[in-house]
């Protein structure tokens, strides 16, 4: 049996009539008992349709209680669930379905468009009240049934989570019951009581797919927004007394820009725990001051199961501003050279990670799996960093993002961390462009704090000149209103590289 199925049933016994899920602020909600009953009802209906152990099911549902019920129901029949988010473009969803090759596709008619795979297609209508949930999701009459499922060879697969797709199309990371159990144990180790939380990521994100079981076991009340918007999110956080803000740095920046922020009652907020990319020092300062809360930076990836390193809530500024902290309990970090040999402390290398939460493989991609996972369980993250003498990890950027100017390596994230501190810079991303003399040079895309007074390339070079070698300084500045983001809310560097033709 899947770990999520066990967690749903145990949570129903342990937490009973307490609220498990809320659509926004309500009124539609489900208790732990109601979630268990609704997923049992849907599981029974899926079983009648031949959906069962080892089959792969793709979910094309919006962020909603329906998504959670369907995911739990699929877990109860032993299916492997792949979340295909509604926020992806039709072309991206098409590519994900082609990668997964599902036996079953469950989705709303609005999302079941284009060329669908040769699979059982089950259209559903989103439930409007608890009575509809009690009977399982409303399944519509139109469906195409494939009677012979594909054979599966994996021992205990449970979910397929797609990467953010920062380079090429997203890949599917496979997780089984052992990994999800380890993730749940790690996340719940420090929690002493149930709490209300706002789900800040998409439901198909690793931050939900692999962590839902842990939230259920902990008795947390999860508020789910169809779409995350800063003003609505902040209002919910304050009104519901959410003690921990999760998400990515871009979301924190948007929260800080909510009009009349000082009028919101933020007393209940005790901590911000932020991952998905770097948190600039000035952003951390502003967030701590505005919310009166501690700020912890998490470093992880989809492939690592959302676990990796973190900065302590009471860490000194040096740690929070310049590192991503120390490995979490049960996680090993090693810095390796191109040949896989460990580098000395204080020297840069590729970050390798090993823990019980690391994915099993990339689904249907043995070549990428072999490039990413070693036989002895190490995950090659593709990130470049170094371990300092305090044991903290300092990141320099992505191995694939590095470019070479005049024979010298440049890691964009290192440059961005310095330039982000310039008073006129709101957000910044550095990518290379071809150069006839130097081979490649840096271009800084800048979202200015004041659109009427953007920084010049001369100002940025002068500002960073005492802290960065000359070859790392940008040769050009392009002012933009926003930085493009991937569906995972990370800076889309490939889109920026296309703009400069590199």
The confidence score (pLDDT) of residue 151 equals 43
Write down the number of H helices and E strands in the chain. 16, 25
Token pair for residue 303? Answer: 């492939």
- Report phi then psi at 333, rounded to 5: -125, 135
Q: Is the pLDDT of residue 152 over 60?
A: no
Token pair for residue 102? Answer: 């599902």
Q: Is the pLDDT of residue 463 over 80?
A: yes
The count of other CB atoms within 10 Å of the CB of residue 346 is 11
CA 202, 272, 454, 444 dihedral sign is negative
Higher-confidence position of 404 and 316: 316
Measured CA to CA, the distance from residue 502 to residue 497 in angstroms comes to 5
Is residue 223 within 8 Å of 197, Cβ to Cβ? yes
Percent of the chain with pLDDT over 70: 95
> DSSP alpha helices (H): ranges in 421-490?
457-464
Q: Is the pLDDT of residue 345 over 50?
A: yes
Per-residue pLDDT reduced to its tens digit, 325-335: 999 999 999 99
Q: Is the pLDDT of residue 165 over 90?
A: no
Measured CA to CA, the distance from residue 93 to residue 111 in angstroms comes to 9
- Report phi then psi at 225, rounded to 5: -95, 140
Interacting residues of 288 by C-beta distance below 8 A, sequence separation 6+: 294, 295
Kindly state the average pLDDT of the residues 217-224: 98
Terminal Cα distance for the chain, rounded: 49
pTM score, two decimals? Answer: 0.84
Kindly state the average pLDDT of the residues 54-76: 97
Residue among 221, 218, 179 at smallest CA distance from 80: 179
Q: Is the pLDDT of residue 154 over 50?
A: no
Strands 19-23 vs 221-224: parallel, antiparallel or unpaired: parallel
Strand partners, 157: 176
- Residue 296, classed as helix, strand or coil, is strand
Cis peptide bond prior to 27, omega within 30° of 0: yes
Task: List the domains of the chain with CATH numbers.
Answer: 3-188 (3.40.50.12780), 300-398 (2.30.38.10), 401-500 (3.30.300.30)
Measured CA to CA, the distance from residue 122 to residue 381 in angstroms comes to 37
Q: How far is CA 492 from CA 166, 215, 448, 462, in A?
A: 6, 30, 18, 27
> DSSP alpha helices (H): ranges in 401-447?
412-419
Q: Is the pLDDT of residue 201 over 60?
A: yes
Helices 65-76, 32-48: axis angle to 10 degrees equals: 60
Per-residue pLDDT reduced to its tens digit, 271-289: 999 997 778 888 899 999 9
């Amino acid at each position: 049996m899947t770990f999520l199925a066990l967690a749903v049933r145990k949570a129903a016994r342990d937490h009973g009539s307490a609220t498990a899920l809320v659509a926004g602020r309500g009124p539609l909600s489900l208790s732990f008992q109601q979630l268990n009953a609704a997923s049992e009802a849907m599981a029974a209906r899926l079983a009648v349709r031949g959906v069962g152990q080892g089959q792969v099911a793709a979910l094309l549902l919006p962020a909603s209680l329906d998504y959670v019920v369907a995911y739990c129901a699929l877990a109860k029949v032993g299916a492997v669930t792949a979340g295909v988010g509604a926020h992806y473009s039709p072309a991206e969803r098409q590519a994900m379905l082609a990668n997964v090759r599902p036996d079953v596709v469950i989705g709303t008619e609005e999302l079941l468009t284009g060329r669908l795979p040769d699979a059982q297609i089950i259209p559903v209508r989103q439930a409007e009240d608890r009575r509809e949930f009690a009977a399982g999701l409303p399944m519509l009459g139109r469906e195409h049934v494939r009677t012979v499922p594909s054979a599966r060879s994996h021992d205990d697969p449970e979910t397929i989570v797609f990467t953010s797709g920062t380079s090429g199309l997203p890949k599917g990371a496979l997780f089984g019951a052992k990994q999800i159990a380890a993730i749940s144990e790690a996340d719940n180790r420090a929690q002493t009581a149930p709490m209300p939380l706002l789900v800040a990521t998409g439901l198909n994100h690793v931050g939900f797919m692999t962590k839902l079981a842990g939230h259920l076991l902990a008795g947390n009340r999860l508020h789910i927004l169809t779409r995350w918007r800063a003003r609505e999110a902040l209002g919910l956080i304050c009104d519901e007394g959410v003690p921990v803000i999760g998400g990515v740095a871009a979301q924190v920046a948007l929260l800080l820009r909510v009009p009349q922020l000082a009028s919101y009652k933020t007393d209940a907020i005790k901590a911000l725990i932020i991952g998905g990319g770097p948190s600039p020092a000035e952003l951390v300062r502003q967030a701590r001051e505005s919310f009166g809360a501690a700020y912890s930076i998490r470093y992880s990836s989809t492939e690592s199961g959302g676990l990796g390193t973190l900065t302590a809530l009471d860490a000194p500024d040096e740690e929070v501003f310049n590192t991503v902290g120390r490995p979490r309990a049960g996680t090993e970090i090693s810095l390796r050279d191109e040949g896989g040999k460990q580098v000395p402390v204080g020297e840069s290398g590729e970050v390798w990670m090993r823990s019980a939460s690391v994915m099993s493989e990339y689904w249907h991609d043995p070549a990428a799996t072999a490039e990413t996972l070693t036989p002895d369980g190490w995950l090659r993250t593709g990130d470049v960093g170094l371990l300092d003498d305090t044991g903290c990890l300092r990141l320099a950027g992505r191995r694939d993002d590095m470019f070479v100017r005049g024979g010298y390596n440049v890691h964009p994230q290192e440059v961005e961390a310095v330039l982000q501190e310039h008073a006129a810079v709101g957000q910044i991303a550095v990518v290379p462009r071809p150069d006839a003399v130097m081979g490649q040079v840096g271009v800084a895309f800048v979202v200015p704090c004041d659109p009427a007074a953007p920084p010049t390339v001369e100002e940025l070079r002068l500002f960073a000149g005492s802290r960065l070698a000359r070859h790392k300084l940008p040769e050009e500045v392009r002012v933009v209103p926003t930085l493009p983001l991937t569906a995972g809310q990370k800076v889309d560097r490939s889109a920026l590289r296309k703009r400069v033709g590199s």
